[in-house]
Amino acid sequence: MEFSHTSVLLSETIDNLSIKPTGVYVDGTLGGGGHAFHICEKLSSKGRLIGLDQDASAIEAASKRLAYFGTQMTTIVRSNYESIEEVLSNLKIDKVDGIILDLGVSSYQLDTAERGFSYREDARLDMRMDQRQSLTAREIVNNYSEAELFRIIRDYGEERFAKNIAKHIAVRRAEKPIETTFELVDVIKGAIPAKVRAKGGHPAKQTFQAIRIECNRELYVLKNTLDKMVELLNPGGRICIITFHSLEDRIVKKAFRKYENPCTCPPDFPVCICGAVSKGRVITKKPILPSKEECERNSRAKSAKLRVFERS
């Protein structure tokens, strides 16, 4: 299957990146190279784009798409964006002028049944974005304790029936391991009251999201890499982050606010004495949302939010 992914909030992201023709930019979630291609279009021969992705299929697709710009302008590295410091250090780059992250799972990953991301296709439980790693969704479902599963499904899936779903998983796997996506869907359906199943969307959506986030350490990586990325920006450099669910968005929103106003003094203090210095300014006081037209063209854009921070 050909790698296909429609870039969400494309023009909004490119505009807010405020690209300098001679600048250095990092796409930390390269995917098929959609955002990266449009960044490269705005660069001169002295500009540079570094693309990172942990998915081999994405690397292959983006390499083909960006070949037009040549290897002097583009450098593609198979890596998680949490290694951004190391990647840039190896390339002898100290600071960059912009960073973009388009978080979550790609259309290609969802639509490739054998990757095990989708609750609508039957496949082995996998969900690894980086197929070099050993931890899979199958390991999580069959080997995590019932209490751990409850925590993950509740916190990462924001699923109100998390306790019952974890309990049903524990009962089913005691009989035999849960091997496939449809086997897991069947367990989840059994844990959610029929009345609720009849009303909402797919009953497995939130649990699958939770297991995918745990499998790929998505929130951990985001939370623990944001500080590094902001420190890597040149003055005036911007970081643009597209999120697809409230947990990611909350992390980004909170971090950007802290970078803008890090003061820890009590509100009634007449002057700041903590000495914390602002790192820059939040460009998006409210997140940028996709237009109605974009949502109609691409249903997966509906939950997208773009937040932008500029380094001082």
Measured in whole angstroms, the distance separating CA 47 from the mean position of its chain's CA atoms is 26
**What phi, psi does 38 have (nearest 5°)?**
-75, -25
Same domain for 236 and 178: no
The pLDDT assigned to 4 comes to: 55
The pLDDT assigned to 262 comes to: 96
The pLDDT assigned to 104 comes to: 82
The pLDDT assigned to 9 comes to: 96
Q: What is the number of structural domains in the chain?
A: 2
Task: Examine residue 162 and state whether it is found in any structural domain, yes or no.
Answer: yes
Same domain for 135 and 80: no
Same domain for 222 and 207: no
Of 201, 216, 231, which residue sits at a domain end? 216
254: containing domain: 10-108+218-311
Task: Examine residue 178 and state whether it is found in any structural domain, yes or no.
Answer: yes
The pLDDT assigned to 154 comes to: 98
Task: Examine residue 46 and state whether it is found in any structural domain, yes or no.
Answer: yes
Of 181, 196, 216, which residue sits at a domain end? 216
Domain CATH for 31: 3.40.50.150
Same domain for 222 and 212: no
The pLDDT assigned to 198 comes to: 87
Task: Examine residue 268 and state whether it is found in any structural domain, yes or no.
Answer: yes
The pLDDT assigned to 1 comes to: 53
Same domain for 206 and 81: no
Q: Identify which of 27, 45, 35 has the alpha carbon closest to the alpha carbon of residue 96.
A: 27
Same domain for 150 and 237: no
Please tell me the pTM assigned to this model. 0.94
Cα-based angle 179, 140, 2 (whole degrees, multiple of 5): 65
Of 196, 216, 236, which residue sits at a domain end? 216
Task: Examine residue 172 and state whether it is found in any structural domain, yes or no.
Answer: yes
Task: Examine residue 182 and state whether it is found in any structural domain, yes or no.
Answer: yes
The pLDDT assigned to 3 comes to: 54
Same domain for 51 and 24: yes
Element (H, E) at 310: strand 305-311
Task: Examine residue 113 and state whether it is found in any structural domain, yes or no.
Answer: no
Same domain for 171 and 148: yes
The pLDDT assigned to 107 comes to: 83
Q: Give the pLDDT of the chain (312 residues) as one tens digit per residue.
A: 555 567 899 999 999 999 999 999 999 999 999 999 999 999 999 999 999 999 999 999 999 999 999 999 999 999 999 999 999 999 999 999 999 999 988 888 888 999 999 999 999 999 999 999 999 999 999 999 999 999 999 999 999 999 999 999 999 999 999 999 999 999 999 999 999 998 878 999 999 999 999 999 999 999 999 999 999 999 999 999 999 999 999 999 999 999 999 999 998 999 999 999 999 999 999 999 999 999 999 988 999 999 999 999
Domain CATH for 171: 1.10.150.170
Same domain for 208 and 81: no
Same domain for 271 and 207: no
Task: Examine residue 123 and state whether it is found in any structural domain, yes or no.
Answer: no
Same domain for 223 and 286: yes
Same domain for 255 and 206: no
Pinpoint the alpha helices (H) of the chain. 10-17, 34-41, 56-66, 70-73, 84-90, 107-111, 137-143, 146-157, 162-175, 181-191, 194-199, 205-216, 218-231, 246-260, 292-297
The count of C-alpha atoms lying within 13 angstroms of the C-alpha of 240, restricted to the half-sphere facing its C-beta, is 26
